[in-house]
Amino acid sequence: LTQRLVDQLAKSADAGSAAPRRASVIDGKNGAGKSAELMKLASVAAASDHIVIYAHSTSPWVNSSRPYAPANTGDLFVQHEVVMDLLRSVAALSGDALEKVPLGKSVVVGKKTLGAEKTLADLVEFGIHTPSLAHDVLESLLAIASSQKQVPVLIALDNVNTLWCTTCYTDQQDNVLPANRLRLVNAFLPFFEGKASVAKGWVVGATSYIEPRFMPKDLKLKLNPPMMVPLANPDVASDPNVKKPSSDLPFEVIKVDRLSAEEAQALMVFYHKTSIISTPVTNALVAKKWVIADGNPRDMFKSVTAYF
């Protein structure tokens, strides 16, 4: 899977590739390696001179652990500190790539005007040091980066299911806020709902089932539709009142499957070489741990370190 994702990243960065593709979401059971795959993808992109907009977890965007406030206009809410942290991450992962993209035209952020000769690096730096305008900077960054074709872009969000969840925040009337009432979430939603895309690059997310409250039931059902038994009775099958679960999603789903026996063997050898385990790796040991964990990488790790 890792090689498949890296190959797709390289293909998306090819200037001669076809029209922008829709976003992709990596899905699978807890511990299957979704976050690890996304992190490796972000690392490869950063090393390949991409503009990397990577959030290792979007849970803090919605779990009320960070400050928020009503926006000056409209019915959205802002999270200046969270956005500043994200901009710092962008600068750290893609500083050189940001320098290669000029703004192209004057960009007005608050009372500040950045000239056309300035670069995305200047824009991000301004946002990092101007908390009250961090949201404006992020939105300008996304707009400019996604439309240009000079430098490839990777937008990667872990726990991406939080974009459609009910948050732990409340409004002034103590009503619980849906995620789309947060300005930060609103900046990324279009990319995962097919309403925006990157001209050169890729938009990828990874799901998480660790906190069920942040996994909307309808999204979970679409990601994991129940097996349907064909209806033998044609009258019942054609009945419009018989509802079938919808699996239509605005993004491509990439499933992370269980480890193969060969992958489990390689993982156990790695554990031994890095002194995570001292027991010699035998076929019998690998088979035992693989079966116990049902091929799940996290469960395999817990199994081999159970006595530590």
pLDDT digits (tens, 9 = 90+) for 7-60: 888 888 875 555 457 899 999 999 999 999 999 999 999 999 999 999 999 999
Considering the entire predicted model, what is its pTM?
0.88
Predicted confidence (pLDDT) per residue in 250-261, tens digit: 999 999 988 888
Residue 212 DSSP symbol: G
Q: Rounded CA gap, 262 and 251, in Å?
A: 31
Q: 237-266 burial, b if ≥16 CB within 10 A, otherwise e?
A: eeeeeeeeeeeebebeebebebbeeebbbe
Q: Rounded CA gap, 52 and 92, in Å?
A: 9
Tell me the pLDDT of the chain averaged across its residues: 91
Q: Rounded CA gap, 77 and 215, in Å?
A: 21
Predicted confidence (pLDDT) per residue in 274-302, tens digit: 999 988 999 999 999 999 999 999 999 98
Q: What is the pLDDT of residue 248?
A: 82
Which residues touch 240 (CB under 8 Å, ≥6 apart)? none
Nearest alpha-carbon partner for 292 in 279, 280, 301, 282: 301
H-helix or E-strand spanning residue 97? helix 80-99
Task: Please say whether the beta carbons of 145 and 93 come within 8 A.
Answer: no
Which residues touch 18 (CB under 8 Å, ≥6 apart)? none
Task: Please say whether the beta carbons of 225 and 46 come within 8 A.
Answer: no
Residue 255 is encoded by which pair of tokens? 């499933």
Task: Please say whether the beta carbons of 194 and 250 come within 8 A.
Answer: yes
Tell me how far the alpha carbon of residue 111 is from its chain's centroid: 33
Mean pLDDT of 116-122: 96
Which residues touch 288 (CB under 8 Å, ≥6 apart)? none
How many C-beta neighbours within 10 Å does residue 52 have?
Answer: 26
Predicted confidence (pLDDT) per residue in 178-205, tens digit: 999 999 999 999 999 999 999 999 999 9
Beta bridge partners, 155, equal 53, 203
Task: Please say whether the beta carbons of 152 and 12 come within 8 A.
Answer: yes
> Long-range contacts of range 182-186, CB-CB < 8 Å, 24 or more positions apart?
182/61, 182/62, 182/68, 182/76, 182/77, 182/79, 183/71, 183/76, 183/77, 183/78, 183/79, 183/135, 184/61, 184/78, 184/79, 184/82, 184/83, 184/86, 184/135, 184/138, 185/61, 185/62, 186/76
Q: What is the pLDDT of residue 244?
A: 58
Residue 4 has pLDDT above 90, yes or no: no
